[in-house]
Amino acid sequence: MTAFGSVFMPEMAISWFDGSNWSETEVVSSDSIQLHPGAHVLHYSSTCFEGLKAFRHKDGSIKIFRMDKNVERFAQSSQLLGLPEINKDVTAKMIRDIVARFTDEVPEAPGSMYIRPTHFGTEPAIGKAAVPSLTSCQYVLLSPVGDYFAGGDKALRLLIEDQNMRCPPHMGMVKSGGNYAAALQPIMHARAEVQADQVLFCPNGDVQETGAANFLLIDGNELITKALDASFLHGVTRDSILTIARDMGMDVQERELTVDELLERAKKPGCEAALSGTAAVLAPVGTLIHHGQEIDVGNGGIGETTVKLRTALNAIQWGEAEDTHGWLTSV
């Protein structure tokens, strides 16, 4: 099996901003792009991206999941990075059109076509460390992906980092490469030192998120997760799972969750924890590692409610349950 995101469709949609206008969208080879070595993005990380999926339904139709919400976040990231404003309708059309061009290549469920819109500053100006790029480029790249859980659905090990942050607190809600770069060292250390799968960033004891997913605690009928603020990414999957949980009658609490409360609740036999994100949807967390101590979450295995919520979300994505919230866009 190839690694997630390492196979690409041969063409992508692209548009360039010249300081005044966006060029007409073109479909070009996805092999390469040409950039000036002084391009703003290469020096000052003026870049953001999105990750969303298109699914093949049994009737052969192709549906994109929560495209509007992802385009909205893309526009917000662009704005917070001082990049030129994108036209959300144009980006949405770029996404729909490039997926339509490759409908035959959209894998059957549980596979999907992963969609990666990207926007970055292109201005050749290495003196602009504290000035935004006047020019930019956006493209939409496609990558067919298989079943995330093909290797087996195993409960993850998370290292609790209760001092340091994933990224500066005003940047967490921006889906930008620099945030991932900032989190890399702690994640590499956690893998090497305690064989953790991920780091759960909890600066000053405030449970935020991992390097690439949001964190949810499920204790009986309660679902607890951090309330939205600027310090972490506002996951589209998080929003979808919370909505489905509310539909199921669960008590959804968006509020501050401390490491102390998390560890206290984790000890209860029925407790569950999960990571939410586009790639895995909802991945079970079995173990928390805190100051050298390993704490099982509930029974340390795969939680029942986690699987129930993931199955419900997959059913909507795959066209097996009614799309009552209007989350699917036809291609």
Ligand X SMILES: Cc1ncc(COP(=O)(O)O)c(C=O)c1O
Kindly calculate the radius of gyration of the chain based on its CA atoms and give it in whole angstroms. 20
Question: In terms of CB distance, is 39 or 183 closer to ligand X?
Answer: 183
Segment interacting with ligand X (CB under 6 A) among 38-46, 100-108, 148-156, 272-280: 272-280
Q: Are 137 and 16 in contact (CB under 8 A)?
A: yes
CA distance 86 to 90: 8
Distance of CA 148 to the CA centre of its chain: 14
Q: Are 286 and 155 in contact (CB under 8 A)?
A: yes
Q: Are 323 and 62 in contact (CB under 8 A)?
A: no
Question: In terms of CB distance, is 39 or 257 closer to ligand X?
Answer: 257
Least distance in angstroms from the C-beta of 207 to ligand X:
13
Least distance in angstroms from the C-beta of 206 to ligand X:
15
Q: Are 238 and 276 in contact (CB under 8 A)?
A: yes
Q: Does position 276 bind ligand X by CB under 6 A?
A: yes
Nearest partner of 259 among 237, 290, 236, 218, judged by Cα: 290
Least distance in angstroms from the C-beta of 31 to ligand X:
25
What are the backbone dihedrals phi and psi of residue 141, each rounded to the nearest 5 degrees, phi first? -105, 145
Q: Does position 91 bind ligand X by CB under 6 A?
A: no
Least distance in angstroms from the C-beta of 41 to ligand X:
18
Residue selected from 238, 265, 290, 310 as contacting ligand X according to rule CB under 6 A: 238
Question: In terms of CB distance, is 78 or 278 closer to ligand X?
Answer: 278
SS3 317: helix
Report the site for ligand X in 206-235 (rule: CB under 6 A): 209, 212-214, 233, 235
Q: Does position 236 bind ligand X by CB under 6 A?
A: yes
Question: In terms of CB distance, is 39 or 95 closer to ligand X?
Answer: 95
Report the site for ligand X in 96-135 (rule: CB under 6 A): none
Least distance in angstroms from the C-beta of 279 to ligand X:
6
The token duo for 66 is: 């929560």
Least distance in angstroms from the C-beta of 29 to ligand X:
27
Residue selected from 91, 237, 305, 329 as contacting ligand X according to rule CB under 6 A: 237
Distance of CA 73 to the CA centre of its chain: 11
Instruction: Quote the crossing angle between the two packed helices 67-80 and 236-247, to the nearest 10°.
Output: 140
Report the site for ligand X in 17-76 (rule: CB under 6 A): 51
Interface with ligand X (CB under 6 A): 51, 209, 212-214, 233, 235-238, 276-278
